[in-house]
């Protein structure tokens, strides 16, 4: 969703929200034979990797000799939310065009790889019955992004301040357009 408004100086200001949700994303290669972390506390509290009463989480698929049981399933989830602000000149003023944009965003997922060949971001994903514990900022999260581009149209060549009477070959070599 975008809101756009022309402001003084022939500048168009655009403010918008962009968001996306992904569910049932294929997760391939997670080792479900991995035990959880061992940082458990007693006294009946739950912490990451611990069961009732502080018992250490042990995989129900515990296979001796360290053999892997790899999971292929549609367990992946992701979300993206962003505020986008853009200012852009629509006509040249003194030969100058400008575009300035800023995006503030958050990307969350539940331990997916970044898709660029890196390792999985959550080695204990998914813990049975505790899928929400792996929901956090994604490896590809980029909170702040600034982009600026400026184009200056040189005043040389046909129809410009300098070189209006240039020969067509000279205008092709040295002119700034047309």
Percentage of the chain modeled with pLDDT above 70 = 62
Return d(Cα 45, Cα 155) in angstroms, integer. 73
Q: Which helix (H) or strand (E) holds 169?
A: helix 168-174
As given in the structure block, the two tokens for residue 162 are: 């300098």
Binning pLDDT at 50, 70 and 90, where does residue 46 land? very low
Q: How many CB atoms lie within 10 A of CB 65?
A: 4
Percentage of the chain modeled with pLDDT above 90 = 25
Average pLDDT, the chain: 75
3-state secondary structure 33-59: CCCCCCCCCCCCCCCCCECHHHCECCC
Instruction: Check whether 128 has a pLDDT greater than 80.
Output: no
Least confident stretch, 34-48, 66-80, 132-146: 34-48
In this predicted structure, what is the pLDDT of residue 29?
Answer: 65
- State residue 174 phi and psi, 5-degree precision: -115, -15
Q: Which residues contact 47 (CB under 8 A, 6 or more apart)?
A: 39, 40, 41, 54
Return d(Cα 58, Cα 148) in angstroms, integer. 52
Mean pLDDT, range 89-117, rounded to an integer = 79
In this predicted structure, what is the pLDDT of residue 177?
Answer: 59
What ranges in 9-149 are assigned the alpha helix state H?
A: none
């Amino acid at each position: 969703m975008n809101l756009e408004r022309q402001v003084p100086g022939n500048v168009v200001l655009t403010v918008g929200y962009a968001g996306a949700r992904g569910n049932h994303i294929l997760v391939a290669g997670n080792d479900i034979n991995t035990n959880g972390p061992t940082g458990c506390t007693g006294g009946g509290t739950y912490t990451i990797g611990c069961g009732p009463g502080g018992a250490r989480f042990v995989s129900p698929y515990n296979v001796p000799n360290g053999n892997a049981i790899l999971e292929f399933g549609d367990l992946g989830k992701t979300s993206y939310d962003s505020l986008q602000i853009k200012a852009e000149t629509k006509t040249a003023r003194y030969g100058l065009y400008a575009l300035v944009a800023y995006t503030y965003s958050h990307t969350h997922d539940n331990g997916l790889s970044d898709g660029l060949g890196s390792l999985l971001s959550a080695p204990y994903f998914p813990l049975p019955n505790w899928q929400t514990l792996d929901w956090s900022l994604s490896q590809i999260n980029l909170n702040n992004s600034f982009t600026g581009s400026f184009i200056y149209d040189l005043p040389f060549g046909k129809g410009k301040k300098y070189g209006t009477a240039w020969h067509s070959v000279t205008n092709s070599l040295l002119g700034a357009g047309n």
